[in-house]
Amino acid sequence: MSPTTPFNSFVRDVPDFPKEGILFRDITPLLANAEAVEAMAQPVLALQPTHVLGLESRGFIFGSALAQKLGVGFVPARKPGKLPMATFNESYGLEYGSDALEIHTDAFKAGDRVLIVDDVMATGGTAAAAQRLVQRTGAQPLALTVFIELTSLPGREKVEGLPVFSVLRY
């Protein structure tokens, strides 16, 4: 892809998914584009995180690639019951229901600097839950980076004090 091709040509709108009334932004075609990770990495390079926290599930894809690019460790934030050791759990609301995320209680330690990564920020519930999980370990959440930010929804309001970086804004 040339630098002048807009990333939004790789995002498909899927109406009424996962339920009626929701306009889903499908980023699957974007995953085949190596420049997508580069675009997410540029604004966060100077933050010097010690870890990346990737949010289930597409945040794993972007998060692990960003961790590799930044030369830091990757930690997954999983749905409940998926991690084998003691966990912290944070519930959150979605635009179409509710859910929770978990991380191991020893995922981070005081002094760790954590970059939170997901594919899309909508209502901000998932990101806010991730921010609380990082704080519960004693680590510092540095910023949130997402590929798509849905600006018509109040996502940024939910992650007070956390810088938010997005490549595309709808």
Helix ranges, the chain (H): 35-41, 58-70, 125-136, 155-158
- Choice among 12, 95, 157, 169 that is catalytic: 95
Single pTM value for the model: 0.92
pLDDT per residue over 15-68, tens digit each? 999 889 988 889 999 888 889 999 999 999 999 999 999 999 999 999 999 999
Name residues whose C-beta falls within 8 Å of residue 167's C-beta, 6 or more positions apart in sequence: 7, 36, 39, 40, 146, 147, 148
Q: What values do phi and psi take at 149, rounded to 5?
A: -120, 125
Q: What is the band of 95 on the pLDDT scale with cuts at 50, 70, 90?
A: low
Active-site position among 58, 78, 90, 102: 58
Domains assigned to the chain:
34-169 (3.40.50.2020)
Average pLDDT score over residue span 139-156:
95
Which pLDDT score, from 0 to 100, does residue 34 have?
84
51/72 Cα distance (integer angstroms) = 5
Task: Kindly state the tokens that stand for 76.
Answer: 């997954």
Query: Distance between CA 4 and CA 116 in Å, rounded?
Result: 28
Angle, alpha carbons 125-67-49 (nearest 5°):
75
